[in-house]
Each structure stands twice: as structure tokens, then as C-alpha cells.
């Protein structure tokens, strides 16, 4: 974990994968639960897929969990984590950042660890005012030049801490920054202009229907296809989401959920019979179902409207 002194590659790997695009605050309690349940990579490798996906529920980017399982099995099969950046990079779910971070933090290798924090710090330091995507190679050269031969892992964590707390995207606290005397962005008087912002993404709205099939205090859940949105996760049954308005009839509830690249308006409608493979999940134990946030919110919305009607 951030700031934690550790060299156990399993812990470093697990925390780094969890932290991909996910905040420390969100990860910390989940990391502890994961570790308590599967203390070693061998234990994780032996776990059932659905148990791991369920434990990951709510963390998002579920391909990470699928890759985590595949990676754990590969590592357990070969008797442990490889200790070089090059070999780590070949494992599922381990890209350039994570391979470098594990090599440096867990194995004490010199590796150039580049995440968005490092990119921003370096871009400001050197006054790079084009979008990051156009300056990847230049930033790598500059980050390489900054990285010490010994202690690359500590250096990387220090750079990431600097980026997260002082050299923030907005309202950087340059007066507290040890690099400000050498920083071109600070010298410009407008450090926030560096690097140039990414192009804004358009977020269309999609519509969907989820079926509420209830019997004896249980609802019918299904498992989504292994690939694509919420791949492999537990879900309410229903047709694929579309760009068109899908439902004009009565709904038990509607939830709006924002994904990375679209907004979803999901109507939950009553249905009588299961139409595909799945299982009955007791509503009293719905939190054990491993539902991603979209479906957890959908079910909460139905139960809440029911409570209000009864009141």
C-alpha cells in the first residue's frame, strides 16, 4: 500500500492492480479484505472465479479482476512472481506502469515508474504544455533521467505522493513544493496550464431494462457474459442496453448510472418467470451477491420505493 514498507511481491502486485485508476481511499479497506481472504498468491490461484469477482464487486474495471485470477494462476504455476520488469510485463493485467512498480518496489530493481502523477510532475517541471499523449516519449526520457540508480521504488512513491498532494491537477500548492525553484510551470505563473488538458469526452445516454423476478423473498440473478461491460459479474436479467428509449411501460424504479463512456438510464420492471440460467438470491442476503454498483443501486431503489409505499 502507499507508504507501506513491504517487499512481498504478492502484496505489491495486489495493491498496484487495485490502485489502477482507483483512489487509495476506495482501495484500502478492500485490499485488507482481499488479503485476509487470500493471504498468498497460491490461495488466490486456487479460488473460484465467482468468489474473486464477488470480492471485487464495487471496485470497477472488472477486467482487472479477471486478469488478476489469470495472473495469480500463472504465477502460482511457475512458483512465484518473476523479478524483472520485462517478465512481469508479460503477465495478464500487468502493463508498463505496474511492471515497473513491482520491479522497483518489491524487487529493488531500477525501473522508471510512470503514472499520471509522474507525467504531470515531469510535464510541469519541464514546461511541457502539449497534451500528455503527444509527449509520452519525451516524458519517459525526462523521468528516466530523474530516476536514481538505487531506491527507484522509494523515488517513484515520492513522485506519486508529490503529484497526489502538492502537484495536483488543479490548484497545485507550489509554495510547498521542493521542485518549484527548478519548475518551468511555476516560473510561468500559471502552473495549472501544464500539461494541456485531454480532449473532453462526449457521454451519450443509453437506456436499459432490468427484470425484477421475485419469489419467496428471493430475486433471480444471472451472470453476465465474461467479456464486455461488467463482464462475468452478477446482475439482474434483461436485454442489452441501447441508444434508444427502451421502456415506456410502468417501472418499479429507475436509476441513472454514469459509466466511463456513457450514461445509463435503467428501468427495473416486474417479470414473472426466469428465462435464462441464473439463481435465486435471498433479498436479505443481497449484499453477499457480489453485485456491481449499478445493480446494487437498482435493487436498493426498488426496495426503497417499496418501503415508502408501505409507510
Task: Supply the residues annotated as catalytic.
Answer: 16
- CA–CA separation, 68 vs 63, rounded Å? 8
117 alpha carbon, distance to own chain's centre: 16
Residue 195, preceding bond cis, omega within 30 degrees?
yes
Q: DSSP string of 235-300?
A: E---PPPBSS----S--SEEEEEE-SS-EEEEEEEE-SS--SS-EEEEGGGGGGS---HHHHHHHH
Joined together, the cell numbers standing for residue 182 give 527548478
Q: Is 271 exposed, middle or buried (CB count within 10 Å of its CB: 0-12, 13-18, 19+)?
A: middle
Query: Please, what is the minimum distance in Å from the beta carbon of residue 76 to DNA?
Result: 17
Q: Which of 16, 55, 85, 267 binds DNA (CB under 7 A)?
A: 16
The residue with cell 439482474 is: 236
* 27-56 binders of DNA (CB under 7 A): none
State yes or no: residue 23 binds DNA (CB under 7 A).
yes
State yes or no: residue 247 binds DNA (CB under 7 A).
no
Site string for DNA, 160-199 (x = CB under 7 A): xx-xx----xx--------------------------xx-
State yes or no: residue 96 binds DNA (CB under 7 A).
yes
Number of residues that bind DNA (CB under 7 A): 61
Q: Pick between residue 19 and residue 219 the one whose CB is nearest to DNA.
A: 19
Binding site for DNA (CB under 7 A): 1-3, 15-16, 19-26, 57-63, 67, 92-99, 101, 115-117, 120, 133-134, 136, 157, 160-161, 163-164, 169-170, 197-198, 200-201, 203, 228-231, 257-261, 292-294
Amino acid at each position: 500500500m502507499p507508504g507501506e514498507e513491504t517487499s512481498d511481491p504478492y502484496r505489491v502486485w495486489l495493491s498496484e492492480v487495485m490502485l489502477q485508476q482507483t483512489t487509495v481511499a476506495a482501495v484500502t479497506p478492500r485490499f485488507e479484505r482481499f488479503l485476509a481472504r487470500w493471504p498468498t498468491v497460491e490461495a488466490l490461484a486456487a479460488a473460484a472465479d465467482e468468489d474473486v469477482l464477488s470480492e471485487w464487486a464495487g471496485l470497477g474495471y472488472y477486467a482487472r479482476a479477471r486478469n488478476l485470477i489469470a495472473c495469480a494462476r500463472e504465477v502460482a504455476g511457475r512458483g512465484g512472481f518473476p523479478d524483472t520488469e520485462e517478465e512481469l510485463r508479460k503477465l495478464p493485467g500487468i502493463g508498463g506502469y505496474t511492471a515497473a512498480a513491482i520491479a522497483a518496489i518489491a524487487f529493488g530493481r531500477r525501473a522508471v515508474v510512470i503514472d499520471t502523477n509522474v507525467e504531470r510532475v515531469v510535464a510541469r517541471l519541464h514546461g511541457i504544455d502539449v497534451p500528455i499523449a503527444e509527449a509520452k516519449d519525451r516524458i519517459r526520457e525526462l523521468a528516466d533521467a530523474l530516476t536514481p540508480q538505487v531506491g527507484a521504488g522509494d523515488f517513484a512513491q515520492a513522485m506519486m505522493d508529490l503529484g497526489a498532494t502538492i502537484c495536483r491537477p488543479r490548484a497545485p500548492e507550489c509554495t510547498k513544493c521542493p521542485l518549484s525553484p527548478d519548475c518551468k510551470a511555476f516560473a510561468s505563473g500559471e502552473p495549472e496550464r501544464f500539461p494541456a488538458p485531454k480532449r473532453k469526452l462526449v457521454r451519450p445516454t443509453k437506456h436499459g431494462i432490468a427484470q425484477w423476478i421475485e419469489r419467496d423473498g428471493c430475486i433471480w440473478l444471472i451472470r453476465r457474459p465474461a467479456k464486455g461491460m461488467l463482464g462475468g459479474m452478477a446482475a439482474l436479467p434483461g436485454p442489452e442496453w441501447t441508444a434508444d428509449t427502451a421502456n415506456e411501460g410502468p417501472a418499479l424504479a429507475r436509476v441513472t448510472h454514469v459509466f466511463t463512456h456513457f450514461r445509463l438510464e435503467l428501468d427495473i420492471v416486474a417479470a414473472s418467470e426466469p428465462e435464462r440460467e441464473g439463481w435465486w438470491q435471498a433479498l436479505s442476503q443481497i449484499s453477499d451477491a457480489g453485485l456491481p454498483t449499478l445493480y446494487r443501486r437498482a435493487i436498493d431503489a426498488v426496495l426503497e420505493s417499496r418501503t415508502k409505499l408501505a409507510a
